[in-house]
Amino acid sequence: MRYHPHTKSEREAMLARIGVASIDALFADIPADKRLEGLLDLPHGLSEMAVERQLGALAARNVVAGSVPFFCGAGAYRHYVPASVDHLIQRSEFLTSYTPYQPEIAQGTLQYLFEFQTQVAALTGMEVANASMYDGSTAAAEAVLMAHRLTRRSKAVLSGGLHPHYAEAIRTLTAMAGEEASLMPADLRAEEDILAEIDNDTSCVVVQSPDVFGNLRDLRPIAARAHEKGALLIAVFTEVMALGLIEPPGAMGADIVVGEGQSLGNGLNFGGPYVGLMATRQNFIRQMPGRLCGETVDAEGRRGFVLTLSTREQHIRRDKATSNICTNSGLCALAFTIHMSLLGAKGLRQLALVNHARASALAEQLRKVAGVEVINKSFFNEFAVRLKGSASEIVETLAESRVLAGVPYARLAPQAGLDDILLVAVTETTTDADAEALIAALQGALPC
């Protein structure tokens, strides 16, 4: 196979075949002032070795999360992934498998997806879970559309503690469907009166816990108010590790639970691919998007697995579909399942306790630093601090000292006016030396 451009005679033959006089005629519908004249300002071709050397130099400019004190979170968390996870998912039967269009002959794939669903249902305290979504934000958006179908209403109330990226995904998708998603103002201390926003026109209320600022929320009164008004409660999380320690959303009355599963089995990966989790109640199962694996027996009574409750509309008639998500993050879901299986319930709780303990210790240290105010009364492994000055500028200053101090909230929601708020995440990978480096760097960077 060659990778050279088409020759002049080949281009002329193709143009003659389609009945076009010239290549320029192919672009006649594009306004002339929008077309590029001449070649792009790109370097000429290089040898393979030269390209590798140049790309290697560019890559070396990146700072690898594990190479410096790292406190970034805000929906993507650095956890230790056991070597056995990567070893197993790189087996050819997993790494090269694709969508099982004839699912009954892909029993291995269906079995691990079934086990994945079982784990997600147990973690969230719900009755059923699907075989994964793209990521947490798209899962949240799909959950809102699902609630609209179930309630036959079209108004969603979004908490001010919801991750701004999740809120934007919801508002983008609902806008395309001609529906409403009302976002409350940023809620730094979990003090919003969300109950007052739920009325007889509300389809669902979307609440995150731990929220984007790290606050833990009691979902029970919100669920009670939503159900009183005939609405549904959609519970969101961005840090699945928290479910090893906090009460599951299903036990607090949530109707649909969605979130990000990246923390188990999946690295940061420059922001993806990740794995979206979705679980709900049994009586809502026919409106749940995505794939669903079921357990059955074959003609000889042997245990087997099938894709179930999947309609033709899901794949063919887009306008009639429950959802147009026709795949799932299968390899990421497998990594999640392997990591979760290695931990078990006891291991997950112990790991969650380590995360919380280390975050609590750092928060106590930060309370003693002049120019730093810890906002939260409660949190899991991430909390918000108010800095004396611009959080973005301070983060950049600390980055020059090779300390990645966290995520400025202003990067997620520039319009919120919270330029002095920094989100700080701590996991089991954070060492005492990392914490000391952060404290020292802040003391040197903050104005007196």
Interatomic CA distance for residues 392 and 35, integer angstroms = 37
174 lies in some domain: yes
Pair (290, 428) in one structural domain: no
First vs last C-alpha separation in the chain: 65
Pair (437, 418) in one structural domain: yes
186 lies in some domain: yes
106 lies in some domain: yes
pLDDT at 3: 65
- pLDDT tens digits in sequence order for the chain, 448 residues long: 466 788 899 999 999 999 999 988 988 899 988 888 888 888 888 899 999 999 999 999 999 899 999 999 999 999 999 999 999 999 998 888 776 667 778 898 999 999 999 999 999 999 999 999 999 999 999 999 999 999 999 999 999 999 999 999 999 999 988 899 999 999 999 999 999 999 999 999 999 999 999 999 999 999 999 999 999 999 999 999 999 999 999 999 999 999 999 999 999 998 999 999 999 999 999 999 988 999 999 899 999 999 888 765 566 676 777 777 766 789 999 999 999 999 999 999 999 999 999 999 999 999 999 999 999 999 999 999 999 999 999 999 999 999 999 999 999 999 999 999 999 999 999 999 999 999 999 999 998 6
Pair (189, 280) in one structural domain: yes
9 lies in some domain: no
Residues spanned by the domain of 111 = 83-339
Examine the fold and report which residue of 295, 316, 339 is the final residue of a domain before the chain moves on.
339
Examine the fold and report which residue of 339, 368, 395 is the final residue of a domain before the chain moves on.
339
Pair (317, 381) in one structural domain: no
Pair (361, 307) in one structural domain: no
292 lies in some domain: yes
305 lies in some domain: yes
Contact 260, 134 (CB under 8 A): no
Pair (362, 233) in one structural domain: no
Pair (187, 283) in one structural domain: yes
56 lies in some domain: no
- Spatial neighbors of 428 by CB under 8 A, at least 6 apart, are 79, 80, 351, 354, 355, 358
Examine the fold and report which residue of 339, 357, 389 is the final residue of a domain before the chain moves on.
339
From the list 258, 253, 222, the residue with the least C-alpha distance to 240 is 258
pLDDT at 310: 74
Pair (140, 276) in one structural domain: yes
Pair (331, 368) in one structural domain: no
Pair (311, 414) in one structural domain: no
14 lies in some domain: no
From the list 420, 417, 415, 414, the residue with the least C-alpha distance to 406 is 420
pLDDT at 2: 60
Interatomic CA distance for residues 143 and 138, integer angstroms = 8
Interatomic CA distance for residues 209 and 212, integer angstroms = 8
Pair (419, 271) in one structural domain: no
- Spatial neighbors of 57 by CB under 8 A, at least 6 apart, are none
Number of domains the chain is built from: 2
pLDDT at 326: 67
> Domain with 312 in it: what CATH number?
3.40.640.10
> Domain with 395 in it: what CATH number?
3.90.1150.10
| 61 to 58, 77, 384: CA distances (angstroms) | 6, 22, 29
Pair (170, 277) in one structural domain: yes
